[in-house]
Structure formats: C-alpha cells, structure tokens
Amino acid sequence: MSDKRTSKDEQLDTFRTDDSGKHTTTNQGLKVSEDEFSLKAGERGPTLLEDFHFREKMTHFDHERIPERIVHARGFAAHGEFELYEPLKKYTKAKFLNDTSRTTPVLVRFSTVAGSKGSTETPRDTRGFATKFYTEEGNYDLVGNNIPVFFIQDAIKFPDLVHAVKPEPHNGIPQAASAHDTFWDFVANNQESAHMVLWTMSDRALPRSLRMMEGFGVHTFRLINDKNESHFVKFHWKPKLGVHSLVWDESQKISGKNPDFQRADLYNSIEDGDYPEYELGIQVIEEKDEFKFDFDILDPTKLWPEEDVPVQIVGKMTLNRNVDNVFAENEQVAFNPGHVVPGIDFTNDPLLQGRLFSYTDTQLIRLGGPNFHEIPINRPVCPFHNNQRDGYNRQTINKGQVSYHKNSLWDNTPSPASEEEGGYTHYNERIDAHKIRARSESFKDHFSQATLFWNSMSDHEKDHIIQAFSFELGKVENESVKKQVVDMFANVSLDLARGFAENIGLDAPEQGGSDVTKSSPALSQANTVHSPSTRKVAVILGADFNGNETHSVLEALKSEGMMPEIVSAKQGKLKGAGDVEFSVDHTFSTADPVLFDAVYVAGGKHEDPSFKQNVHYYVSEAFKHFKPIGATHEGVGLLEGGGYVGQSGVIHNDDLHTFSEEFGKAVAAHRHWDRQLV
C-alpha cells in the first residue's frame, strides 16, 4: 500500500470509522445492552412496538439496498493518484493539467455494462472506465469505456439500445449477454452500430484484467486555454502492462469458477503492491482542422486513427489503494461527464449532449435526491458554497439567514467568480441554426471505420471476431434477424460476413464488400506491450519434487515479476528433495487452469494416477487456450504422449537458466496463436 496520502484521503478520514473493540450503540449513540433478542411481552410473547432498537436495526436493513445502476451495475473501484508529465498550457487552463509539482487524487470505477449487479465479471461486454479527479478547482469526471466508440450517435436512442441488450422482457433471459434476438434485431435496424459491434465481437470485449485494458473518453471534448483558444480533444488511458484478453471458452469457464475474477485481480494486485498504472494520452485537433477528415470528428461512432492524429502521452495514473467499503465508495460514487473544471468544455456531439442530462437525472433517483454530492466519496476536496438548501440527506449545516442571490444582508455573497478568479465560462461558440430533428449528412457513413477496424486485425483476431459473430447469432432464433445481420456486415467485409454466415447455416452473401483498404496498427492487440510482470503461474508439484531446482525456477520467475502459486493434491506443506518445502496455495479442486496465465509442471517422484489425471487436465486446458506451458524434470514426462512437446509456447528443459529465460519469454507473449491444437 502506498504511504502517500492525498487531500481526498485526509478528507475521508473524517468519515471513516473502526468499530472494533467498541460497545454497540444505536444510531443516536445510545449503548445497547442486548443485540440478540427483541423486546417481548414474556419470553414466548409477541414483540413490542416500543422496541426502538429492533425498529431502527430492521428499518436500516430494509433500506440498505439502493437502486442499482441501469447500466454499469457490476463494478469495482480503487483509489489512486494522477501525476502530470508536462504542463498543457498551450491547450488548457485546467490547473491539474498544468501543475507538475502536485499529484491529483483519483477514484476509478471499472464495470461491465449490460449485466446486473450480481452478474459475472467476464462476459462479452464493453467495460466502463470512469475516473474522478479530485482537483483544487472541483471534481472532474472522465467517464469512459474500454472501447473508443459507441453503438449510437444520438442520446435519444440510448434507452432503445439498453432495452434491446438487456434480458428480454417476456422471460428475463439472458443475463449479461448480447447473444439474443432483440439485441441483434436492434443492430440490424440501427446500422450506425456497425463499428461498435466489431469492437464488441473482438478480443477487446474480453479483457484479461482491468489492469490490461485501455480506457477512452469516447466523446470529442474541448480544451480551452487562458487565451480562450479552443482545441478538440479525445482522452485515452494506456495501460503500462499492455492490452491483453481472454479467449471465449476461457471466459465462459471463469464465469463459473470465479464470477469475481476481475475485481479479485484488481484488489489483490493493489494489496500486493503491484499497482496498476495507466498513462493519460490526448489526441488534439485544432479548430481550423475540424472538417479536414473523411469522417465527422463529433460522431461518437468514429475514432481518430492514431496514425492521423497521434496520441500525446501527458501523465500517469497509479491505483494504489483499495476502497475501505464497497457500498460507501463503489456503489455510492456518482460520475457525470458534466462535472468539469475551467479549461475543459463540451462539443456538439449529440450523444455527449444527452449524457450531460442523463447522469444527473439518474443520481437523483439512485442516491435519493439532489444532495448526492455530499456523500463522502463524491465531495470535492475544495470548499463549495452556494444557495442550495434542504432536500433528502442534506449533510451541510448552513448558517445564517440568506439562501438566495442577489442579496444585501450578506453583501451579495456567495457571489459568482470572474474568469480571472477561476469562474467557469463556457466556450463562446457561435451558433446560427434552425431548430430541427435531424442528423448531419456527415454522420451517415456507418461502415468505413468498421472496415478500418477489420483491416487492422491480425489473422487470429479476425478469426475470433468471426467465431464471436457465429456464437452470438447462433443463439438468435429469428432467421430474418440473422439474414439482416449477414447482409449488414457484408458492407464491412465479405470475408467477415461469409465466415459467420456459413457457421450459422445461411448462404454466403454474394454482394457487398468495401473499398476501404486503410488499416491502423494501433487498433490491434498484436502490437501492444508484452511483459511477464504480474502474470499468475500455476506451479504443479507432487510428492518428493525436485527441491533445489524447483526453488531456483520459482525465484527466477519472481525476479521477472511473475506470481507463481503452488497447486497440488492436498493443502498444507509439501516437502521435496533436499528438504525444500513449500506451502500449497491451491488444490486441484479449489483452483482451475483458467484462473492462471501459465502452467509450470515440476511434478514429483511419487505421482499416483489421480495426480497425473489432474496434471493432464491443467495442461490440456492451458494448451487449448494458447497459454504458455513449462515443465522440468519429472514434469517433462507428464507432457509426453499428449502431443504437446515441440509445440509453440511449450517449454521443457532441465537447464534451469535456459528454461527460466525461455519460459519468461513465453509468458510475456501472453498467447501462442500459431499452436496447432491436438
């Protein structure tokens, strides 16, 4: 855990409590003498209405659940800090983006989108990546996703999208899944979704870890400098560990083996001191270049190719402290893209415009009224003063008789601040237009960037997309919907449409295709950072394992940042040759190969048939999911005969230095896609 304390930590200290060693009291501070039995008229008589302790305790329990978020219900948060690499005075007057001498406290909440609060954490889905910066000028919320585009262009269609992807209303099925008729019917009849659908059918929708996925602000915002000059901007979070994913079969199995897989990974990493790090990047377009591209930069279904508009890395965020209480911090935190500071403003992106209303409106019902900003996790670190009063859950005790503007009793205070005093002013954008319900012609190309994304994928990524379409549409019952989707994505790529059409029993389309040949290497995970750091390795040991050699290998793995965990038949201590002893972390029945990044089989000299069967399961599952597999000494014999020896990513060598070096490289590669499945 970090020793650094932020201003937000100090503020939260006021609200933190440790109840250990204390007497039980009511919420009014009255010590209670009994907390096991309600007050009754005789030992076997009825409970009395005057039992105020029972009524308070039960009433609180009855009201402990607040409405879950309609989307992003399943999530987990962590605290951290943001440090700026270089001042951005050229672009913005925001103080936290100009002062490199101080760090800014942050809270990040990661989430899935479609599922309920109790759903699994590894479905095929978009992931939320929302960051609250507690700045000296007020809270700034960068409310984004791990995908840079969205399904729709106008916020008025957001309820329709969510209704379509949620469980179907006639039977409440399926949970946290888009593989059903109503979602794909929406896609086929709202073709602006084509680009986003390619992303969600790709590996990006199956992140290996919340620590290994990008974050995007999605929308085009404005940066305003102290000369009142405007630049268009998109925000990016780049994970230092690179962008890596699960495979679909693995993802489904993890849902059953550990539905808390993502939050446990994040929580444990922070507790172990392996703090997740993300660099903040910005793409900037000058106002004069607004119309120079072959897409509309305000269209939320479009990205700015990094080859055309480079990402400038400007700072780093480190998550270094877990929340103390999941409800108080993770559930009650309220994000809103409308929470901005001077120097950051909005554009006319119609999806963003709608979100500016929707998020506030949502918090009013979810958190019980207009005072959600007074909940400790939402309070800014700077003072706030205004004439707002009353309402549910008011915590501020405002003194004095004035609660209006303008006034003479308090010399017209609290009063607005000038721009020079830090008062927020909107960019003075000229608008001259007719009121109209319509969409700009520049928003009507729905397929070019979807093709750009397809062209940018490696061969194995393209295969995964085809298999994802095949699975999702294989669950769709309506043949007309299937046919419409095939015809729609023939406009993106005939290879794509033909690939999944045949898998779902439809004729391959004859017409379609795209003239777009451009690709963007930045979109492929094949070009990401590769490191063995924080990778979990299942180390399979049996009785009388080769002690000194195994110890040397484990130390070598740890030196490269890997996290070996011992798996064996029984818990407790396991002794090997040379009196080397390890504590068993997991048994074969309490862990599973899908929960690890790699498998290392050291084996043992006395292995019964049951042990060998479990080893075969671990190796075969890891092999099927293209994961690295290592073996030394007795472990090598357990690989022989299964067709694994000589395959890509399978390392076996009794020279410990060579083995450790080669196995480390195999783990860093993440997956070995050229492996021939046996």
Distances (CA, A) of 405 to 415, 421, 426, 639: 8, 19, 21, 78
User: 259 with 153, same domain?
Assistant: yes
Q: For 507-545, write each residue's pLDDT tens digit.
A: 999 999 999 999 999 999 999 999 999 999 999 999 889
Range ranked top by mean pLDDT from 38-42, 55-59, 200-204: 200-204
**340 found inside a domain:** yes
Mean pLDDT score across all residues of the chain: 94
Q: Can you spell out the DSSP letters for 92-151?
A: ---GGGT-TTS-EEEEEEEEESSS-TTS-S-SS--EEEEEEEEETTEEEEEEEESSSS-S
Q: Can you spell out the DSSP letters for 154-199?
A: SGGGHHHHHHHHSPBTTTTB-TT---SHHHHHHHHH-GGGHHHHHH
User: 490 with 561, same domain?
Assistant: no
Would you call 72 a catalytic residue per the annotation? yes
Q: For 129-157, write each residue's pLDDT tens digit.
A: 999 999 999 999 999 999 999 999 999 99
> With contact defined as beta carbons under 8 Å apart, do 136 and 216 qualify?
no
Residue-number span of the structural domain to which 300 is assigned: 75-378
pTM of the model: 0.94
Residue from 53, 72, 195, 339 carrying the catalytic annotation: 72
Is residue 1's pLDDT more than 80?
no
Q: Provide the pLDDT for residue 144.
A: 97
In this prediction, residue 232 has a pLDDT band, given cuts at 50, 70 and 90, of very high
Q: CA-to-CA distance for 402 and 389, rounded, in angstroms? A: 10
Q: Provide the pLDDT for residue 2.
A: 53
User: 476 with 580, same domain?
Assistant: no
Q: Provide the pLDDT for residue 5.
A: 77
User: 471 with 559, same domain?
Assistant: no
Q: Provide the pLDDT for residue 647.
A: 94
User: 580 with 462, same domain?
Assistant: no
**199 found inside a domain:** yes
CATH at residue 584: 3.40.50.880
Q: Provide the pLDDT for residue 87.
A: 98
Interior/surface letters 25-59, b for 16+ CB within 10 angstroms, e for the rest: eeeeeeeeeeeeeeeeeeeeeeeeeeeebbeebee
User: 149 with 272, same domain?
Assistant: yes
User: 168 with 290, same domain?
Assistant: yes
In this prediction, residue 233 has a pLDDT band, given cuts at 50, 70 and 90, of very high
**624 found inside a domain:** yes
To 10 degrees, what angle do helices 181-189 and 158-165 make?
Answer: 150
In this prediction, residue 570 has a pLDDT band, given cuts at 50, 70 and 90, of very high
Helix (H), strand (E), coil (C) string for 296-309: CCCCCCCCCCCCCC
Average pLDDT over residues 590-615: 94
**426 found inside a domain:** no
Q: Provide the pLDDT for residue 678.
A: 59
CATH at residue 200: 2.40.180.10
Would you call 320 a catalytic residue per the annotation? no
3-state class (DSSP) for residue 237: strand
Average pLDDT over residues 455-479: 98
User: 373 with 467, same domain?
Assistant: no
Q: For 157-184, write each residue's pLDDT tens digit.
A: 999 999 999 999 999 999 999 999 999 9
User: 478 with 536, same domain?
Assistant: no
> Running DSSP on this structure, what letter comes out for residue 331?
I
Of 378, 408, 436, the domain-final residue: 378
Is residue 365's pLDDT more than 60?
yes
Q: Provide the pLDDT for residue 471.
A: 98
Distances (CA, A) of 477 to 23, 181, 189, 471: 60, 6, 17, 12
Average pLDDT over residues 388-398: 90
Q: Provide the pLDDT for residue 343.
A: 97
Of 507, 526, 545, the domain-final residue: 526
CATH at residue 521: 1.20.1370.20
Is residue 3's pLDDT more than 70?
no
User: 283 with 214, same domain?
Assistant: yes
Residue from 53, 79, 139, 145 carrying the catalytic annotation: 145
**141 found inside a domain:** yes
Average pLDDT over residues 641-650: 91
Q: Provide the pLDDT for residue 64.
A: 87
Higher pLDDT, 60 or 533: 533
Residue type for position 112: T
**411 found inside a domain:** no
Is residue 92's pLDDT more than 70?
yes
Q: How many structural domains are present in the chain? A: 3
User: 202 with 318, same domain?
Assistant: yes
Is residue 642's pLDDT more than 90?
no
**307 found inside a domain:** yes
Q: Provide the pLDDT for residue 530.
A: 97
**336 found inside a domain:** yes
Of 475, 499, 526, the domain-final residue: 526
Instruction: Tell the residue number behind the tokens 């965020």, with chain if given.
Output: 317
Is residue 59's pLDDT more than 90?
no
User: 349 with 490, same domain?
Assistant: no
